[in-house]
Amino acid sequence: MRALIVTNMYPTPTVPGTGTFVADQVESLRGLGVHVDLMHLTRQDGGRRVYRDLSRRVENAVDATQPDVVHVMYGGVMADITTRAARERPVVVSFCGTDLLGGRTVGTVSQLALRYGVFASRRAARRASAIVVKSRNLFDALPKSVDRSRVWIIPNGIDFSRFRPRDRSECQRELGWDQRRKHVLFPAVPTRPEKRFALAQAAVAVLNGAASVELHALSGVPHDEVPVRMNAADAVVLTSAHEGSPNAVKEALACNVPVVSVDVGDVRDRLEGIEGCFIAEATSEDLAAKLALVFERSSRIEGRERLAELSLGRVAERLRDIYQLVS
């Protein structure tokens, strides 16, 4: 089995935390014996210009590598062009969140680009041989004309060897965090408007009226260094306006770290029945109240065992099965 993977999200030395889940999927597929050729469109360097000659690049890559299947890992303009340019090859498209749901951004041009990206995603979905979505809300966001029998809900896999429980105090000492305080991890870059960092800040400000709490954001942190921060935290807080199946929640659960989240994507399903994790209203007061419950409990959760079906190997097997089905 040979696959050409086209993506605009992949770790680089300048942005080590971007697209780590794509890199994990690529390596786990290779581990199953799938020959993967990677086409990475570096949006960080070229912006939207990287799509100008994408049709030609895809055609050349298909001719050169002769893949059994082309897998586009993210929707939008990239998926729209690739599903057109791959000629007679079957194309699998993975939709991750904003590409189908739209979202918040700054500036009129960026907002128009985001809306066009959703339009392009819907057009790509109609052409795709198979579709992978990360959560039920993305499944529901697909055009009604798309045959649901060729759509699979497969969240991103988790590297259990990397994301595993570690001693909280030891991790806090390693990072130099004050062990007399409570620590809340915001698992995203604060500048991304859809992540609503200000809401997390406001919740911590409410808590700081009665306790000593520090909020830490994951900005410029290589993915290999995320587990120590996850394990050092007393809680992970998610305040996003929209998500598919957020990796940070699953990574926290794999580390047995409590999660407080707004009701977004598939998070409610992930947290259901796990004592010490909470769904909160998207208000600073309710987020603060739920974090306070976590601090009162002051213990690890039992979340890791709930994620067995999301190991990297199991997810890779499901993707390989789809490749075999459509090729």
Q: At what angle do helices 197-207 and 284-297 cross, to 10 degrees?
A: 60
Residue 258 CA: distances (Å) to CA of 68, 74, 123, 208, 305: 42, 29, 39, 19, 14
Confidence of residue 80 (pLDDT cuts 50, 70, 90): very high
Domain spans of the chain, in order of start = 2-157+311-326, 168-308
For residue 106, is pLDDT > 70? no
CB under 8 Å to 278, separation ≥6 — which residues?
A: 258, 259, 260, 261, 271, 290, 293, 294
Tell me which of 239 and 18 has the higher pLDDT: 239
Confidence of residue 46 (pLDDT cuts 50, 70, 90): low
Confidence of residue 311 (pLDDT cuts 50, 70, 90): very high
H helical segments located in 1-135 = 20-31, 43-46, 54-65, 76-85, 98-101, 108-127
pLDDT in tens, 215-228: 999 887 888 899 99
Confidence of residue 61 (pLDDT cuts 50, 70, 90): very high
CATH 3.40.50.2000 fits 2-157+311-326, yes or no: yes
For residue 42, is pLDDT > 90? no
For residue 162, is pLDDT > 70? yes
For residue 32, is pLDDT > 80? yes
Residue 24 CA: distances (Å) to CA of 37, 57, 261, 310: 14, 24, 25, 12
Closest to 101 (Cα-Cα) out of 113, 116, 118? 118
Tokens representing 173? 């000492």
Residues paired with residue 261 on neighbouring β-strands, in sequence order: 238, 279
How many Cα atoms occupy the beta-carbon half-sphere of 312 within 13 Å?
20
Closest to 238 (Cα-Cα) out of 274, 285, 287, 191? 287
Residue 112: predicted pLDDT:
81
Residue 43: predicted pLDDT:
67
For residues 202 and 321, give the distance between their C-alpha atoms in angstroms, rounded to a whole number: 45
User: For the purposes of burial, counting CB atoms within 10 Å of the CB of 51, is it exposed (0-12), middle (13-18) or buried (19 or more)?
Assistant: buried
Confidence of residue 11 (pLDDT cuts 50, 70, 90): confident
Identify the residue whose tokens are 């009701």: 263
Confidence of residue 287 (pLDDT cuts 50, 70, 90): very high
Residue 167 CA: distances (Å) to CA of 164, 172, 174, 234, 300: 10, 9, 11, 11, 10
Confidence of residue 66 (pLDDT cuts 50, 70, 90): very high
Question: Average per-residue pLDDT in the chain?
Answer: 92
Residue 50: predicted pLDDT:
83
Tell me which of 75 and 114 has the higher pLDDT: 75
End-to-end CA distance of the chain: 9
For residue 160, is pLDDT > 90? yes
Residue 111: predicted pLDDT:
74
The mean per-residue pLDDT over the stretch 48-73 comes to 93
pLDDT in tens, 263-276: 999 999 999 999 99
Tokens representing 305? 């065992």
Confidence of residue 105 (pLDDT cuts 50, 70, 90): low
For residue 317, is pLDDT > 80? yes
CATH topology identical between 2-157+311-326 and 168-308: yes
The CATH class of the 168-308 domain is alpha beta
The mean per-residue pLDDT over the stretch 166-185 comes to 96
**Phi then psi for 91, rounded to 5 degrees?**
-120, 125
Q: Residue 267's CB: how many other CB atoms inside 10 A?
A: 23
The mean per-residue pLDDT over the stretch 130-145 comes to 95
Q: Which of 95-109, 179-193, 248-262, 311-325 has the lowest mean pLDDT?
A: 95-109
Tokens representing 220? 């410029």
Cβ(133)–Cβ(152) under 8 Å? yes
pTM for this prediction: 0.85
CB under 8 Å to 49, separation ≥6 — which residues?
A: none
Confidence of residue 308 (pLDDT cuts 50, 70, 90): confident
